[in-house]
Structure formats: structure tokens, C-alpha cells
Amino acid sequence: MIETSRSHTYTLLAQYYDQFFTFHLEWYREARRRLLDEILPHVRAACDLACGTGTTALELAQLGIKVYGVDLSPTMCRLARAKVRRAGADVTIIPSDMRTFRLPEPVDLITCEFDALNHVPRKSDLARVAGAAARALRPGGYFYFDVNNRLAFQEIWPGTAWFEKPGVVMVMRGAYDQRRDKGTTDIEWFIHQKGCWRRFRERVEQVAWTRADVLQTLRAAGFRRIRACDATAFFHGDTRSRPGCRTFYVAQRQVAESLSTTLPAQNDLGDGRELHK
């Protein structure tokens, strides 16, 4: 017997996130190591924006950093708090919107991984997130994030993928809505509960970005030293990854000229890396 119902977005996706979306963690750790290697030793306090189940926040805390985790989803916050408690880490989870969040103190670094910035409802919301991040950072602090670009939604998103774990099956159907310039994912869940399979549906939408969108928004928010790096340098083994589909950014908040600091010198990361001032 199959029962059908609709769940709130990011409810079941949050609940099963760590079961189905751990395959990319090492790629993200590699990106963090290579792009933040000279920054992290100087970070005393950080914020992981759209922290999800708390994986990145916990890894930053394990470096001796005081961490705030911010997420809008109550389920994500609950799971993150449980993970942090088990680890005994110095992480404070704050339920808040990435467009309007505020922290108890300024931080040296804000991270926002796993294409979370694509999940804002409207194009105009990117400016709100960048402004909130700039307010939360100390002068000279860094905003580090990755986004799916329009090319990813045009070339990779369309199609169907099936994932299965004991007692749960997830079917994802992706598409690109050119008129709204958004990627959409319709998710069907089949979950075995109390002797029968129940069917749930969720829909996730992502705004498509271009590099011009991101750079213009960051500069308008007061970020002046911006590094843009293609994800293919880190996503080794990802058969679907191709140049131009995902970009990592490191942006430094502007400081007064007399106190100016610059992005620490970094080794050349290969083709497709640019530094924007």
C-alpha cells in the first residue's frame, strides 16, 4: 500500500540529507583547504551561513574557531544542534534567514557552501545576503561561498536520478525554467513506515547566477578583493562536473585605506582562476 502526501520543502530533504548527500564532502574540503589555507589560521570567529546539518560548522570548530551556524530550516537547526552536542564543539546554532541574519559579534570569516546561495527566492535577494554578510564581518573579513551557474542548470540539471537507502528511496527530477532563469528539482520520497510505503513530494528551486551577477553584487556590498575559482579544480571524479558550471568565491570586505589588508598570497590554482580587485 502507498499513501501520498506533500511535505514542507527542506523537511524530508533535511532529515535525510546526511544519508544521501555526503559523496561531495571531500571535494568541498579540498576547495576549503586550497582556497582558505592561508586565511583559516588567522580566524578566531566564523559563521557558517545556511549551515544545514552542521557538518562544515563542526569542522571549522575542530580547528579551534568559535563558530556560529545559521539556517532557516527548523529541521536543519535541530539536526545541527544534535551533531554539535555529540561532538562537544563550540558552535552556536541560530535559526535565521541568510538575507537578514545578525550575529552576536563580528566574525572574521563567513562560509556558505553546497550552492546554498542559489536557494534564495529571487535574484534581488543576492544583494540582501551580501549586505548581511558584510555587516556581520569584521573589516577585512572574508566571505567564502560557491554557486551553481546558469550553465549548470542548462546542461546538467535536466534529468532524473534515483537514490536508495534502507527504508527510503529518493527520486529527483531536474529541469531548467528559462523564463524564470531557475533550476527546479521535484523530489519524490518513498519511505517505509509502519508496514507500508508512504509517498511524499517536495520541490526545490535554485536561482541561476552568472559571474557578472555575483561580482557586481559583491562590489556593491563593499567587497573589493574577490577571487573566483572554477569548481573543476576540486571536484575530481565528478563525471558530471564541467568548467563553468560551479564557481567558488573568496571575497574580502573593504577596510579603511589606512588599515587595509589584502587577500594572502596564494599559489596558482591552474586554468580558469581569476583575481578581481
The domain ranges of the chain are 2-8+153-207, 12-149+208-276
Instruction: Report, at the CATH architecture level, how domain 2-8+153-207 is classified.
Output: Single Sheet (2.20)
* H or E stretch at 185: strand 182-193
Task: Write out pLDDT tens, residues 134-175.
Answer: 999 999 999 999 999 999 999 999 999 999 999 999 999 999
pLDDT for 107 equals 98
Distance CA 130, CA 78 (A): 26
Q: How confident is the model at residue 238 (pLDDT cuts 50, 70, 90)?
A: confident
**Domain 12-149+208-276 maps to which CATH number in 3.30.70.360, 3.30.479.30, 3.40.50.720, 3.40.50.150?**
3.40.50.150
The three three-digit cell numbers of residue 125, written as one number: 535577494
- Supply 248's cell numbers: 567558488
pLDDT-above-90 percentage for the chain: 79
At 248, is the pLDDT very low, low, confident or very high (cuts 50, 70, 90)?
very high
Beta bridge partners of 5: 200
| Interval 29-42 mean pLDDT | 96
| Mean pLDDT calculated for residue range 189-200 | 92
pLDDT digits (tens, 9 = 90+) for 168-187: 999 999 999 999 999 999 99
Stretch 194-214: mean pLDDT, rounded?
Answer: 94
* Distinct helix (H) and strand (E) counts, the chain: 8, 13
Answer whether 3's CB lies under 8 Å from 191's CB. no
pLDDT higher than threshold 90 for residue 265: no
Largest Cα separation within the chain, whole Å, is: 70
Phi-psi region for residue 23, left (φ > 0), alpha (ψ -120 to 50) or beta? alpha
Specify the pLDDT at position 23: 84
- 8 A C-beta contact, residue 71 and residue 80: yes
Residue with C-alpha cell 578581481? 276
Confidence grade of residue 9 (pLDDT, cut at 50, 70, 90):
low
pLDDT at 250 exceeding the cut of 70? yes
Residue 236 is predicted with a pLDDT of 86
Q: Are 140 and 261 in contact (CB under 8 A)?
A: yes
* pTM for this entry: 0.89
Sort residue 27 into left (φ over 0), alpha (ψ -120 to 50) or beta. alpha
Beta-carbon count within 10 A of 60 CB:
27
Please give the average per-residue pLDDT across 44-49, as a whole number.
98
By mean pLDDT, which of 8-17, 56-65, 248-257 is the weakest?
Answer: 8-17
